[in-house]
Amino acid sequence: MRFVKMNGCGNDFVILDARDRGALPLSKAQAKAIANRSAGMGCDQVIALERSIRGDAFMRIWNANGEEVGACGNGARCVAWLLMEEGGDLKKIETAAGVLRAERRGPDQVMVDLGSPLLRWEEIPIARAMDTVRLDYAVEAAGVHVAAPGAANMGNPHVTFFVKSLDRLPIDKLGPKVERDPFFPEGVNVGFAEIRARDLIRLRVWERGAGLTKACGTGACASVVAAHRAGFVDRQARVIVDGGELEIEWNAKDDRVRMTGSVALEHIGELDPPKARAAPKRAPVKKAARKGV
């Protein structure tokens, strides 16, 4: 089976095109094996393109640990670029979290509209009712204490801690501790943001099921949403990640979050197709889905 290896600001993906067979029923073990950086192709997420009646393609996503998830912002930008190379500069991508709209903004620049953020405590979700602007939550690891993160769901759950400096912050200790805390019933992506100006954030993200990555698109969006709600930044900001930069806008008129950044094609190859088994049912879009998604 043909695969494409791509990255969005360093956030890398193995993309399998299964549109000719309708669906790609990867098991957790198969997805994990593909994502393995030592024995497999190596990536943060494995993505399958499948047939869609709501968009130009359905994007199925597995994290590096083999767990299937509903959204991936940088992955959507890479998929959109591949579809645009087949023709057209506007694409609709169906995901388990809804239909995303993408637009070409340059030879390697793609914008994706991720819809409206979910902000209520039960939409994140977290274990009990509270204000999500600043959660009543704290964690300590390696002698470092962080607290009161903002929370947002951008198709997947995120918390963002605001810190004075990312230098020497033990993200490899703090991240997994927060990710697996029962306070977050479905696990959570963990962002650590350093506010540098009203329109500039430096961000590192411990991704649920993938670990520390060079970039996280939905994490960048969630960081701007959380930082704006806390009064730290305006509605449009540049987010510097380890692999590059992303432009994020949370539009006040339509409440939609749009992300623009670069994508890169690394290589194309062939993988042995997985053994056939019954295709999993697509998860329905939750009633609390983001507006317009």
Instruction: Please indicate, yes or no, whether residues 88 and 159 belong to a single structural domain of this protein.
Output: no
Number of domains in the chain: 2
pLDDT digits (tens, 9 = 90+) for 16-67: 999 998 788 899 999 999 999 998 899 999 999 999 999 999 999 999 999 9
Residue 277 lies in a domain: no
Q: Give the model's pLDDT for residue 239.
A: 98
Q: From the candidates 9, 43, 72, 221, which is the catalytic residue?
A: 72
Residue 287 lies in a domain: no
pLDDT digits (tens, 9 = 90+) for 181-223: 999 999 999 999 999 999 999 999 999 999 999 999 999 999 9
Q: From the candidates 9, 43, 78, 216, which is the catalytic residue?
A: 216
Domain carrying residue 199: 121-255
Q: Give the model's pLDDT for residue 279.
A: 39
Instruction: Please indicate, yes or no, whether residues 241 and 131 belong to a single structural domain of this protein.
Output: yes
Is the pLDDT assigned to residue 230 strictly greater than 90? yes
Mean pLDDT of 160-166: 97
Q: What's the CATH code of the domain at 62?
A: 3.10.310.10
Residue 155 lies in a domain: yes
Instruction: Please indicate, yes or no, whether residues 145 and 105 belong to a single structural domain of this protein.
Output: no
Beta strands in 64-188 (DSSP E): 68-69, 90-95, 98-106, 109-113, 138-141, 144-147, 150-153, 157-162
pLDDT digits (tens, 9 = 90+) for 128-159: 999 999 999 999 999 999 999 999 999 999 99
Residue 279 lies in a domain: no
Instruction: Please indicate, yes or no, whether residues 70 and 175 belong to a single structural domain of this protein.
Output: no
Q: Which of 78, 65, 123 is nearest to 293 (CA)?
A: 123
Instruction: Please indicate, yes or no, whether residues 160 and 41 belong to a single structural domain of this protein.
Output: no
Instruction: Please indicate, yes or no, whether residues 125 and 231 belong to a single structural domain of this protein.
Output: yes
Instruction: Please indicate, yes or no, whether residues 96 and 189 belong to a single structural domain of this protein.
Output: no
- Distance between CA atoms of residues 66 and 60, nearest Å: 12
pLDDT band of 276, cuts 50, 70, 90: very low
Return the C-alpha torsion angle 219, 2, 29, 98, nearest 10: 40
Residue 281 lies in a domain: no
pLDDT band of 273, cuts 50, 70, 90: low
Structure tokens at 209: 């099921």
Q: Give the model's pLDDT for residue 280.
A: 42
Q: Is 43 one of the annotated active-site residues of the chain?
A: no
Residue 10 lies in a domain: yes
Instruction: Please indicate, yes or no, whether residues 197 and 140 belong to a single structural domain of this protein.
Output: yes
Residue 197 lies in a domain: yes
Instruction: Please indicate, yes or no, whether residues 89 and 11 belong to a single structural domain of this protein.
Output: yes
Residue 291 lies in a domain: no
Instruction: Please indicate, yes or no, whether residues 136 and 216 belong to a single structural domain of this protein.
Output: yes
- Distance between CA atoms of residues 154 and 240, nearest Å: 19
Q: What is the mean pLDDT of the chain?
A: 92
Instruction: Please indicate, yes or no, whether residues 171 and 80 belong to a single structural domain of this protein.
Output: no
Instruction: Please indicate, yes or no, whether residues 150 and 247 belong to a single structural domain of this protein.
Output: yes
